[in-house]
Amino acid sequence: MVVSPAVGRRLDSQSAGEMPCVFITREDKRHMRYMIPIGRILFALIFISAAPRHFTHEGIQHATDLGVPAASLLVPISGILALLGGLSVATGFKSQWGAWMLIAFLVPVTLGMHAFWRLHDLNSIHIQQAMFWKNMSMLGAALILTQLKSGW
């Protein structure tokens, strides 16, 4: 449900815990017509642009150095999830499925690659902590996208 500044009156049949009725104005629809596709594309670009590295020796070696088991198998699989999920969200084609692919990518990558709590060097901790919370914010956005309809 999209929340609009124009909130309707409470319906008599509505129970105490439910959201009030929300009206979407024509102007809101006009803005959403452009903002949703732009937001989808901007969100997806990081996954699409980062995916090719998952198929390189350098990308696989980086994951191996961080202790990822079976990196030569798991890193390319994560690249496929990132690329297909990103393209799905960006185009709006089956974007709920795409969002779930991005979640399947983000959870293990965030916990495995950005585990700042296992580090001792303060500079590395700072960098990995920032990457961890960046991924957590993207995980939150992907969870929201699982609840939105596909398409533009």
pTM of the model: 0.79
The rounded distance, in Å, linking the Cα atoms of 90 and 142 is 12
String of DSSP letters for 1-53 = ----SSB-PPPTT--TTSPPPB---HHHHHHHHHHHHHHHHHHHHHHHHHGGG
CA distances (Å), origin 115, targets 67, 71, 107? 11, 16, 12
Instruction: Identify whether the C-beta of residue 89 lies closer than 8 Å to the C-beta of residue 43.
Output: yes
What are the tens digits of pLDDT across the range 72-115?
999 999 999 999 999 999 999 999 999 999 999 999 999 999 99
pLDDT above 80 (res 123): yes
CA distance 82 to 106: 9
For residue 15, pLDDT over 70 is answered with: no
Query: How do residues 128-139 score in pLDDT, each as one tens digit?
Result: 999 999 999 999
Measured distance CA(3)–CA(1) in Å, rounded:
6
What region, left, alpha or beta, does residue 115 occupy, with left being phi > 0 and alpha being psi -120 to 50 degrees? beta
Domain spans in the chain, listed from the N-terminal domain onward: 34-145
Place of tokens 């009030």: 20
Q: Which one-letter amino acid corresponds to residue 52?
A: P
| Mean pLDDT for the chain overall | 87
**Minimum mean pLDDT range among 20-34, 47-61, 120-134:** 20-34
Is it the case that residue 4 has pLDDT exceeding 50? no
Q: Is the dihedral of CA 64, 66, 67, 71 positive or negative?
A: negative
Residue 93 identity? F
Please identify which residue in the block is written with the tokens 């500079």. 123
Question: What would the two tokens of residue 150 be?
Answer: 């596909």
